Chains A and B, each alone.
Chain A
Amino acid sequence: MTQRTIITAILFTVASITATSSAMARDSIEVVGSSTVYPFSTVVAERYGRASGKPTPKIESTGSGGGMKLFCSGVGTNYPDITNSSRRMKASEYKLCQSNGVKEIIEVQIGYDGIVIANSIKVAPMKLTRKDIFLALAAQVPGEKEGELVDNPYSTWKQVNASLPNTAIEVLGPPPTSGTRDAFAELAMEGGCKKIAWIAALKKKDKSAYKAICHTVREDGRYIEAGENDNLIVQKLEANPAALGVFGFSFLDQNADKVQGSQIESVEPTFESIADKSYPVSRPLFFYVKKAHVGVVPGIQGFLNEFASEKAWGEEGYLAEKGMIPLPDAERKVMAANTRNLVPMTGKEALK
């Protein structure tokens, strides 16, 4: 008797689980994507949920690439509605989306994020150029002759540039899986790499070789992969004043009593310098919406309106308070109108 009850109970549990899971319409929005956009997206979701009284959107931090893959897998409630990205959608991803039936995609640029190279406030701030960064961190650097590459011989900053202090090169930064690392390689390292004439000329002839030179970070222990946790990097910088760290601007903003941003081409990373683009290492932040889901999953339109409102992404909005750098006024207005009217991408954008 008792055994029978137990067995029935188990069968019932299993059956009810399969039943509930197979026929389930979603009533909350699903967002995936970049860990850089995550802190901003979550704030908007929470505000939207509390103000509207509707279910709060669920936000997963999967990284930009992982988010695109999930997003482009198909249309229907089994797939996410929105993906965040700390770079623009790639042409290959757009194609993947199209081939899986995700035809109409709304692209929304929300603002900018700066990448800072910081050190402990116990020592003087560094004054770097992008070329210094490239020479200090690339796996291979130009040798004596033109066109020659040698394994990076530099061990102190002074060897890289005589005006820099005589301390050992030690940089803590994100691992290759991180969008921050991609952006750092593209904006800081490639930015410096281009300054060397023969490498810049190589770009036209052999793009992949050019990229390999400019984006490959040295692996001899001078660049230390510190995981995705930027708080950890801040802690380590505090303990080791000789080291530099690479992370997002919002962490610098929150820890101004512990770390300071290095000047790059004599521009300090501040809210203003990133907004007016005079600080060279900054990147745009995006999210992408499936138009087919608007109206099917309740609340998407409301969430978009909250995101595209002045009180959220405006110059004095709450996202700015969280460390996001807003778009310029004119661009923001156009973007807000596009978002509200659900204008999809045409497929003619210059995607990389």
Chain B
Amino acid sequence: MSKSVDNLEKIRKSLSRRNRAEKRFRFYGVTAVLIGLAAVMLLFTDIVSKGHGAFRIAYLQLDITYDQDLIGIDNLTDPQQLALGNWQAMPKVSLRNQFPDVSGRKDKRSLYGLVSNGAGFDLKDRLLENPLLLGDSETLWVLADDDIDTYYKSWLDGEPYDARLTAKQVAWIHELHDQGKIRLQFNSNLFTRGDSREPEQAGIRGAVMGSLLTLILTLLLSFPIGVSAAIYLEEFAPKNAWTDFIEVNINNLAAVPSIIFGLLGLAIFINFFHVPRSVPIVGGLVLTLMTLPTIIITSRAAIKSVPPSIREAALGMGASKYQMVLHHVLPLALPGMLTGAIIGMAQALGESAPLLMIGMVAFIVDIPGGFSDPATVLPVQIFLWADSPERAFIEKTSAAIMVLLSFLIIMNTSAVWLRKRLERRW
């Protein structure tokens, strides 16, 4: 009797201890999640606070005259004339008219420094689109130089950064500001142009296109190959030492640092097959090698999760093994495979190390139009901008990171959504 009371007493005591242990464990779990969330929040706020400025950029209002003699052209269809035209003279003259009392070589130079040195080319493009403007004048908003942009933004924020400007330039900006002739506008260049060494003209369009082309090729190659390999290994291959060996190797490959795939790509595709450097073809091939293990592993897991009863039923009804796999197992395993493919693609999108070896870490201005045009990709663009000395690239870098992150979030959300939507439980 007394013994059972003792036991009850023991259990009651241990109950509170066990409850405490559970509470502690939950607390640890919640803390771990909170630490993770805090880190993510910190990253996001840091990137957003640095990068939000890049979506707006300073423009100057100028009266532009498309003066034939000034530019030195009389025929807008002659490519020779277009190449030699003095386009930058248009914003220069306009600035001189705006500030007529500026004289002396040095002062004029700093005056011309107010506008972006690509402004003349922008005006050329506008003129070519509207040839009737030749000889006319109009009032336009013209892109400002990046130093002006940086100063104007920092001044609006209350912490002016004027180390790159002369005292006169600062005075001119304030004069323009008082006249309402300088303003921040949505930075469409960021999304419509390729890379540039002038921060105000730099955009991510080239990198986005390069990423897109590379990923299309990666998907086209790695999904069919990965799925076929997974089906063969799961359904047809005999289970012996050889297939074990292959399995170990695939798992191993999934953990190999991605730079190794870059070296492999350099040796095989570039040095042996003579595929040109820096093109999406070679990038796609290398990233295919990299994502294949991921896709094979997830596809095999998806095939494994199809219950054997379905296979047996199909075979029992007289289907051949081939029919059983194609008609029954594959459709049921496809959602899992697609999820795996999306995750693999997201990985490939964020990769830059293997591309270093195959020449995709390069300065490329022209927007790639096909698989054989030199291209770079988003993470590489971020790397290149982060390494640039110009101050204005800091916010551009963060803006590009924001774009990359939103692509990744979209891809990963769609993977989760697909799984939720198509998943079947047995």
Closest B residue to A73 using CB positions: B271
Taking a contact as CB atoms closer than 8 A, the residue among B221, B365, B387, B389 that contacts A254 in the complex is B389
| Contact A20/B196 with A39-B388, A49-B366 known, Cβ cut-off 8 Å | no
A/B pair count, beta carbons within 8 Å? 111
Contact A231 B121 (CB under 8 A): no
Within 8 A of A (CB), among B312-352: 326
A61 to B376 Cα, complex, angstroms: 13
Q: Are B371 and A20 in contact (CB under 8 A)?
A: yes
Interface centre among B82, B161, B326, B366 (most CB of A within 10 A): B366
Report yes or no: B275 in contact with A21, Cβ–Cβ below 8 A: yes
Q: How far is the CB of B84 from chain A (nearest CB, A)?
A: 8
Q: Which residue of A lies closest to B372 (CB)?
A: A20
B388: chain A residues at CB < 8 Å are: 39, 231
- Cα distance A18–B133 when bound, in Å? 47
Interface window among B23-31, B276-284, B405-413:
B276-284
Q: Which residues of B contact A240 (CB under 8 A)?
A: none
Question: Of B281, B365, B391, which is within 8 A of A20 by CB?
Answer: B281
Known: A17-B371, A21-B275, A61-B361. A10 touches B224 (CB 8 A): yes
Mask of B152-175 contacts with A, CB within 8 angstroms, 1/0: 000000000101100000000000
Residues of A within 8 A of B362 (CB): 58-61
Contacts of A322 in B (CB 8 A): 197, 389
Within 8 A of B (CB), among A68-84: 78
| Minimum C-beta distance from B112 to chain A (A) | 11
Separation of A254 and B282 alpha carbons in the complex (Å): 36
In contact, A59 and B363 (Cβ under 8 angstroms): yes
The residue that B389 contacts in the complex, of A39, A51, A318, with Cβ under 8 A, is: A39
Is A148 located at the chain interface by the 8 A CB criterion? no
Query: Which has the most chain B C-beta neighbours within 10 Å: A24, A248, A253?
Result: A24
Interface of B: prevailing SS: loop
Q: Is the interface of A mostly helix, strand, loop or mixed?
A: helix
Known: A24-B276, A53-B79, A53-B83. A45 touches B363 (CB 8 A): yes
Q: Which of A42-72 contact B (CB under 8 A)?
A: 42-43, 45-46, 49-53, 55-56, 58-61
User: Do B196 and A251 touch across chains, with their CB atoms under 8 A apart?
Assistant: no
CB contact under 8 A between A46 and B281, given known A39-B389, A52-B83: no
Q: Beyond A13-B220, A49-B366, A53-B82, is A24–B390 a contact (Cβ under 8 Å)?
A: no
Interface residues on A, range: 35 or more
Given the contacts A53-B79, A231-B387, A251-B389, A42 and B197 also touching, CB distance less than 8 Å: yes
For B374, the chain A residues whose CB sits under 8 A away are 28, 58
Contact A21 B276 (CB under 8 A): yes
Q: Which residues of A contact B364 (CB under 8 A)?
A: 56, 58
The listed residue (B163, B197, B217, B359) touching A257 by CB distance below 8 A is B163
**CB-defined contacts of A59 to chain B, threshold 8 Å:** 362-363
Within the complex, what minimum Cβ distance (angstroms) separates A327 from chain B? 20
Q: Say whether A78 contacts B389, CB under 8 Å.
A: no
The CA of A28 and the CA of B312, in the complex, are separated in Å by 60
Nearest CB of chain B from residue A231's CB, rounded to whole Å: 7
Q: Which of B196, B277, B359 meets A46, CB within 8 Å?
A: B196
Give CA–CA (A228, B388) in the complex, Å: 11
B221–A13 CB distance below 8 A: yes
Segment 348-380 of B: residues with Cβ below 8 Å from A: 359, 361-366, 371-372, 374
Whole-angstrom CA separation of A43 from B118 in the bound complex: 12
- B285 / chain A contacts, CB cutoff of 8 Å: 17
Q: List 8 A-B pairs, Cβ < 8 Å.
A: A17-B281, A21-B274, A28-B366, A52-B83, A60-B359, A250-B389, A318-B117, A322-B197
**Which 8 residue pairs spanning A and B have beta carbons closest together?**
A56-B365, A59-B363, A60-B362, A256-B163, A257-B163, A21-B275, A42-B363, A43-B197
